[in-house]
Amino acid sequence: MELIIDNRQDKVNLETDLIEILTKVVEECLVYEGWDEDYEVSLSLVDNHEIQELNRIYRGKDCATDVLSFPMVDDNSPMTEEKILGDIVISVEKAVEQAEEYQHSLKREIAFLTTHSMFHLMGYDHMDEEARRIMDGKEKAVLNKLGIKRE
């Protein structure tokens, strides 16, 4: 598994162990779902301005959001030798706001957003209550397995 992290924001200083935590999150999501671990995932850490622009372009919503997922694998696309699962974009500014709101660490919030996005990349969604319940259970299972809990 290759996790490519691109920190494109300069508003929040991130701790160095965050990369190790996020790598474990991505690996555990793949293991949890029984997927091969030889996928590539791109994770971009951005500010609210950049994610608002991406949200406007790709979702037609002109507002900042916490995370965007861009899956590259679906049932209709031919599989190439390069197994690119997709791209995750996280607003670090929004993650800071949510960590404060939920009263847990920034590391936990970014780990949660990465887990959430990984399940989107693997085809899950939360468009109805049953789908939301399933996805929520998967997120909690992965985070609990890694010992990443709300503090």
pLDDT tens digits, one per residue of 79-132: 556 689 999 999 999 999 999 999 999 999 999 999 999 999 999 999 999 999
Contacts of 9 (CB under 8 A, 6+ apart): 45, 46, 47, 50, 91, 92, 93
Question: What pLDDT shows up at residue 25?
Answer: 98
**What are the boundaries of each domain within the chain?**
2-145
Helices 106-121 and 92-102, axial angle in degrees (round to 10): 120
Task: Report the distance separating Cα 21 and Cα 75, nearest Å.
Answer: 30
Tokens of 98: 């949510």
For residue range 134-149, list pLDDT tens digits in order.
Answer: 999 999 999 999 999 8
Whether 74 has a pLDDT exceeding 70, the answer reads no
Would you say 49 is a known binding-site residue? no
When the pLDDT of each residue in the chain is averaged and rounded to a whole number, the result is 93
Question: What pLDDT shows up at residue 150?
Answer: 76
Residue with tokens 């009263």: 103
Question: What pLDDT shows up at residue 44?
Answer: 98
Judge: domain 2-145, CATH 3.40.50.1370. Answer: no
The 3-state DSSP class for residue 95 equals helix
For residue range 22-59, list pLDDT tens digits in order.
Answer: 999 999 999 999 999 889 999 999 999 999 999 999 99
For residue range 9-23, list pLDDT tens digits in order.
Answer: 999 999 889 999 999
Contacts of 78 (CB under 8 A, 6+ apart): none
pTM across the whole model: 0.93
Task: Report the distance separating Cα 33 and Cα 46, nearest Å.
Answer: 28
Task: Report the distance separating Cα 119 and Cα 48, nearest Å.
Answer: 23
**What percent of the chain stands above pLDDT 70?**
93
Q: How confident is the model at residue 151 (pLDDT cuts 50, 70, 90)?
A: low
